[in-house]
Amino acid sequence: MAKSARFTVEKTDAEWKTILTPAQFQVARQEGTERAFTSPLNNEHRDGTFHCVGCGTALWAMDDKFESGTGWPSFTKPISAEVVATKTDWKLLYPRTECHCATCGAHQGHVFPDGPAPTGQRWCINGVVLVFQAKEDLPG
């Protein structure tokens, strides 16, 4: 993703490469896509939250995760409207809605209008750009 002053966390590509794996960098910073059915987060069902691998912002809640059968972790909505930003993606020659972390700009995936109630949305997210924090592992 191009560097932009609209993100509160900004780093050079060289800086991102020191904190992200090559696969994370390819998805988060170059708007790539991980292979379907490769993320262990597809099978994550504990109570908790999913955070951006780039900046640690909590983006997705387990309560909003559902089994879409697509091969990527899918959610009906982000934790809040403020944590995820969207833009139109024309890479496949037709418009899709791309989503990214509003704090650091890390590409997350795409949102589609074919999800379950109550939102009817399927936020199809690359697991490689998420870090899961189980509620049971939190102090206190």
What are the tens digits of pLDDT across the range 37-77?
Answer: 999 999 999 999 999 999 999 999 999 999 999 999 999 99
Going by pLDDT thresholds of 50, 70 and 90, the confidence category of residue 4 is very low
Which is more confidently placed, 1 or 92? Answer: 92
Catalytically active residues, by annotation: 124
Mean pLDDT of 70-97: 89
Q: pTM here?
A: 0.89
- Give the three-class secondary structure for 18: helix
The secondary element (H helix, E strand) that includes residue 116 is: none
For range 75-97, the mean pLDDT = 88
Q: Are 129 and 117 in contact (CB under 8 A)?
A: no
The CA radius of gyration of the chain, in Å to the nearest whole number, is 14
Round the average pLDDT of the chain to a whole number and report it: 91
pLDDT in tens, 104-131: 999 999 999 999 999 999 999 999 999 9
